[in-house]
A and B are shown apart, each in its own frame.
Chain A
Amino acid sequence: MSDNVITVENLSKSYLIGHGEPREKYHSLRDAIVRHGKNYARKAIDMARGRQIIQGDSVEEFWALKDVSFEVKRGEVLGIIGRNGAGKSTLLKILSRITEPTTGRITLDGRVASLLEVGTGFHPELTGRENIFLNGAILGMPRADIKRKFDEIVDFAGVEKFLDTPVKRYSSGMYVRLAFAVAAHLEPEILIIDEVLAVGDAEFQKKCLGKMKDVAKCGRTVLFVSHNMAAISQFSTCGLLLERGKNILSGSISDVIQNYSISQERKKINTSIKMREGSGELRYTYANSEKNRYTPDEIKTFNFEIRALKNFPNKIYVSGLVKLEGEIIVQFDSRLVNTWHQIDNTALGSIKIVHPWMRPGIYTVDLYICSIEGIIDQFEDAIDFEVFPLFPYIGGCDDGALRYGTVLADFSAEFNVT
């Protein structure tokens, strides 16, 4: 017996969806009658058999999940990544037993609590106190446990004063805090969370993440879906990448995130290539930051690929703007380092920014290809990367010492005390 807490084998889930024919196709009344007749006959049969009625002329089976297999060990935090419609929510719903799989098998070793929504079952007319008991029971917490942890929950949510007020009078922040507080005090062996951290203010999110980490430290297993890559990479120990219902990659979280962002980049470049400004003889066909996250003082490396769509006989240079929340922090331009090239087919290149030290935040980079005649390709928001707050200074202090400035200074301080 291994220490796998969750084993998922060949899991698939299908739904039936209907398709309507485009309107122009109704050439004749006879066609239309036949089509509608068939459609009604199908609906009538469905109803007689007690099956779901599906709108549309033809019915198609849609696989929300297809042959997904993975394992999660005790104490691991699995981050599930994928675009909208990749099957993440369906997977969580099956794991939390809300809906049954079509085929496949899941073995769960332990009590499962799932948090697919903040404040499930909260009733607006009931008071905070009453809702704690209601929500706790809905999430599968025994009444005795809720009583025991009641003070802790109230304390975590910070709503002591409003305990006997109906929650419909709560601010949305208070509502979310109370709801999360109940959920955070569940003690299941397996915790399933869907995008819950997308709500609440930044400070509360931090508190939630901290609580989640504690949960994982106690040897519990957490499954967690989010679009917030920073939260996922900080918090997960392993990752699962879903694409169109299939398991593309499962393994270390950094691999999964890397893979995901490359596939995201590809998509972005392919869709935007025709719409970009510039004369268009040459285009960026790939652009990415070597790492998704850097410390402020790390060298930031951006890789790119340029392809010639038409013949362009002149030499070109590349330049770019690094922006933080829309404000330009630095500019780079290959003319300044005497790098000019003439490109016949493709060229791979990289830019390394050694200095300055950058402030924490999410950065975006606009890339340009230019010649002396003007702009050939203008690729806005081509790259994004994050700088996280691990400061390169040897001393520690409060935030006051870091409050001002666009970038961080690489400096020393010397005193000659006389």
Chain B
Amino acid sequence: MDIYVILKQTFDTEEKIIVEDGTISEDGVQYVINPYDEYAVEEAIQKREELGGNVYVIAVGPERTSEALRTALAMGADEAVLISDERIGSDENTISKVLAAYFEGQKVDFILGGYFSVDNGAGQVAIRLAQLLDIPHVGSITKLDISNDKALADRDAEGDLEQVEVTLPAVFNAQQGLNEPRYPSLPGIMKAKRKPLQQLTLDDLDIEESELIPKTARKDLFLPPQKEAGQILKGETAEQVKELVEKLQHDAKVL
């Protein structure tokens, strides 16, 4: 099986966001594999262990993304590819077209990605990619079974569960609960250093310049107003509860 993972490197979710000169400061920030993509990497490795084959991890992003790819290799992926080029930008349409250009001509059994990235959170790229490659996708999966040229996946739909069967090749987006991602082992980290990590630019891909023109643009970036600490209620618990209910009835229209 040729199993692919599309991966993004993101801020650790415990990071605070600091805006400087209209952009988000990257000073001293800890980076991780986007948590949803980590489930995708784990699932890909488990499926290779079950079915045989190779796991390829593909990322579009700045040079630092190679750290995240090394981590995926240390977890057990076989090969990694980083497509890094300043002309790419952050528009989801462009990124999906760059990925589609990469996948053109690759033999693919299935592609795993995260449900969304915890930074931008748009949740577009993997689904757009499936459309561009003209293959089916299942979004937000919590279970995946592969047999021959078919896959059976559980899709989490706002708490409801859909059992979806698709023919391969297909794209699957990992939701929480799909698996427990492993930590890279020490031998895994050592091995990862020798595994192939190929770096590509747009010049290596067959893509028109016109595809790179972003269809959306950011006009402004701001932090939400800081919520001020309110009131800690005092007195006996029963009195506090009574006071709280009165306050909520006064403040909130829904009650």
Q: Do A and B come from one complex?
A: no
